[in-house]
Amino acid sequence: MGFPKDFVWGTATASFQIEGAWDEDGKSPSIWDEYCEQPGKILDGSDGRTACDHYHRFREDIALMAEHGIKHYRFSVSWPRILPDGTGKVNEAGVAFYNQLIDCMIEHGIRPWMTIYHWDLPACLQRRGGWMNEQMPEWFAEYTGVLADRFGDRVKDYFTINEPQCIIGLGYSMGVHAPGLKLGVRDQVIACHNLLKSHGRACQVLREKVKDVRIGYAPCCGPAIPEDENKPEDVEAARKAFFSAIDDPCFMLTWMSDPVILGSYPEDGLKLFGKYLPEGWQKDMSVICQKLDFYTQNVYRGAVYRAADNENGWEKVPLPQGYSRTAIGWEITPRALYWGPKFLWERYKVPFMISENGMSCHDTVMLDGKVHDPNRIDYTHRYLKELRRASENGVNIQGYFYWSFMDNFEWSYGYTERFGLVYVDYATGKRIPKDSLSWYAETIRTNGENL
């Protein structure tokens, strides 16, 4: 028992969070470059102009991965580095960077897993409406086509879009991520629909252009956890809570996944939001719903539910006072990696992976010059034990990507949160492997038998 023998153990990063070189070699500004310029948007007033300087230090970073037995690396591509105008002329210097990065991975025995879009939209496309523009699916298809043509001979595994909920929910609804908009529900629904259609078009392009391609989709969720696993009524209550409609289309799990996998919006969601969908949206389902080789979720925390005698049949259970949290304030709920994959596998029946999971800690370089992070080791150990339990109980789980390989620019938190297995001294760029990296290396070596 345990994890499958061919289980994918990896780490993940995102281009804007680590690359830096924000205006080098023909790259144009992204929405995050411009968002960071606005006072008060980033907690520590920082930006991604240098970040981890991965653009110049990628060989060092890839070598460090290989040294610790990491065989799978999920990275993302910066759209404005490849197409500075969003469409049209290709920036050959940008292509050259990713060619070098991919070749370096392969030279070190690391399999590249490419995320096509991890939030850094070219700012020039945002000025044309961004995800609100009905042309976005074709812009996205063109961009995907360039990646397929230039890298598809070596990259066979793709995630189309990372955390669509956050792209629209945080960026277009709450206004706390780039581009910082606060749109009404009608516009949110349209933006979500354009995003889902973009995912579908990307799948079509990849299938057409890349031989032996494998395609996934990387939304995020906070799984519902039954209070008492031995009570069928609590398990059913958690399942209902997980998949039920909520008053926010951006963060409604089924609104962002049912069309992709099942080919339809959920009925309870249509009752709330169907009136906002663009005319003729039904015909778009044949574009949105494309075959996936794997379905993934970014999972950090969940919430507990139990059966209740009310209209829903369930209620959320408050966590005890003083409940354990990470440095960023997120609740530590290891069972999320059992019940999330279990419920999602039962609903969608697509091979499943965890595309992100990890912990922000108050890391520091100790007097001995090392970074000791026992809390991160314990967190990851607990979560992976639950993921293994799901695998042993029949869930088709194929992989796990730890977030993140290195400390980085954590979006609106700037450099105040550290999720990495590698400590980054932002003043000098020095990399210091944390104890958790050695622990994770042993987990990979034993295929989780050390858990």
- The residues carrying an active-site annotation are 163, 356
Write the single-letter amino acid at 321. Answer: Q
Residues 6 or more apart whose Cβ sits within 8 Å of residue 275 = none
Is there a contact between 79 and 121 (Cβ–Cβ < 8 Å)? Answer: yes
Written as six digits, the tokens of 174 are 């709450």
Helix then strand count (H, E) for the chain reads 16, 13
d(CA 336, CA 174): 25
Is there a contact between 360 and 376 (Cβ–Cβ < 8 Å)? Answer: no
3-state class of 117 per DSSP? strand
Written as six digits, the tokens of 388 are 């293994």
Q: Which of 266, 267, 167, 170 is closest to 217 using CA atoms?
A: 167
d(CA 170, CA 179): 9
d(CA 95, CA 381): 38
Is there a contact between 82 and 90 (Cβ–Cβ < 8 Å)? Answer: yes
d(CA 411, CA 428): 21
Paired residues of 159 in beta bridges: 115, 216
Paired residues of 71 in beta bridges: none
d(CA 448, CA 440): 9
Is there a contact between 432 and 365 (Cβ–Cβ < 8 Å)? Answer: yes
CA dihedral 178→242→255→250, nearest 10 degrees, is: -20
Q: What is the DSSP letter of 160?
A: E
d(CA 191, CA 168): 7
Is there a contact between 447 and 71 (Cβ–Cβ < 8 Å)? Answer: no
Is there a contact between 234 and 176 (Cβ–Cβ < 8 Å)? Answer: no
Sheet holding 314-316, edge to edge: 224-226, 303-307, 314-316
d(CA 430, CA 314): 50
Q: Which residue has the tokens 């992070």?
A: 373
